[in-house]
């Protein structure tokens, strides 16, 4: 039986981060700080924390879910 550690890509540097990591979803405290800076500068427009791997896949493939008014 192979033991697979579930990981998420660090939102900043894309490095795989184990869900057991103390800094998850970031690979390090440094990336966490960078992310906070992005939130503060309004670079991110998504209002909820991205912790769902499926959502991360969507983001990486450019399919960002949006609630657009299509009239
Ligand atoms: Zn990182």
Cβ atoms of residues 56 and 50 within 8 Å? yes
Q: Which helix (H) or strand (E) holds 43?
A: none
**Of residues 9, 49, 50, 40, the one with CA closest to residue 26:** 9
Q: Which domains does the chain have, with CATH numbers?
A: 1-46 (3.30.50.10)
Whole-structure pTM value: 0.49
Residue of 19 and 69 predicted with greater confidence = 19
**Ligand 1 center from residue 27 Cα (angstroms):** 4
**Ligand 1 center from residue 10 Cα (angstroms):** 5
**Ligand 1 center from residue 2 Cα (angstroms):** 26
pLDDT for 23-60, tens place per residue? 999 999 999 999 888 877 876 565 556 566 776 677 67
């Amino acid at each position: 039986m192979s033991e697979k550690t579930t990981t998420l890509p660090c939102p900043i540097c894309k490095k795989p981060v184990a869900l057991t990591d103390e800094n998850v979803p970031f690979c390090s405290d440094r990336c966490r700080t960078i992310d906070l800076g992005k939130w503060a500068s309004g670079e991110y427009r998504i209002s909820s924390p991205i912790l769902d791997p499926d959502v991360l896949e969507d983001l990486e493939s450019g399919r960002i879910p949006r609630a657009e008014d299509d009239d």
